[in-house]
Amino acid sequence: MPSISANAEFEAFYERHWRYVYRLCFSFMRSEADAEDCAEDVFVKVLTGSYEFADETHERKWLCVTASNLCKDRLGSYGRRNVESLDADDAPEIAAPEEDGDDLEDVREAVLSLPPKLKDVVWMYYYDGYQTDEIATALGRPPSTVRNQLRDARKKLEKALRNNHP
């Protein structure tokens, strides 16, 4: 696939990935305005760079890593590592199976509360459907580290969810 340079190509790229990038940024930033700023910066990077993607999967992997890194950098520079919890009404919907009820909301809140390094792997594994080896490659981590982080995240999620539903 050629680089994203023509106006029509960029518009199609933007439409295809905006919601995904925004939701990922929101999972880090926990503020609609900050998430929107970060997501826009990711797309500015695409527009001003000369990136070439092999296919849509490669696009999404690049966007995931770029958005995650940009958000982490912003959080570090803002000194906002301990962001307060959101009200459930303020959070956008995360791409998860369509279900009604408080259980899905509890899971979403628990995922949002994970530390960024665990949230990355959970997001990519459960929401994007990547395998651990693909996540390791995309994030530049050994596959065993990704598997350990998934295990740690599952334990944290289980504990958080058990505390919400005794």
pLDDT at residue 102, rounded to an integer? 56
What are the C-alpha distances in Å from 138 to residues 17, 105, 141?
Answer: 17, 28, 8
Distance, in Å, from the CA atom of 16 to the CA atom of 49, rounded to the nearest integer, reads 18
pLDDT at residue 165, rounded to an integer? 63
Render the burial of 108-146: b for 16+ CB within 10 Å, e for the rest: bbbbbbbeeebbbbbbbbbbbebebebbbebbebeeeeb
Q: What is the pTM of this model?
A: 0.58
Find all residues with CB under 8 Å of 134, minimum gap 6, and list them. Answer: 61, 124
Q: 104: exposed, middle or buried (C-beta count within 10 Å: 0-12, 13-18, 19+)?
A: middle
Per-residue pLDDT tens digits for 118-128: 888 888 888 77
pLDDT at residue 95, rounded to an integer? 43
User: Which domains are delineated in the chain?
Assistant: 1-89 (1.10.1740.10), 93-166 (1.10.10.10)
Widest distance between CA atoms in the chain: 55
Per-residue pLDDT tens digits for 31-85: 889 989 999 999 999 888 888 888 888 888 889 889 988 888 887 765 444 434 3
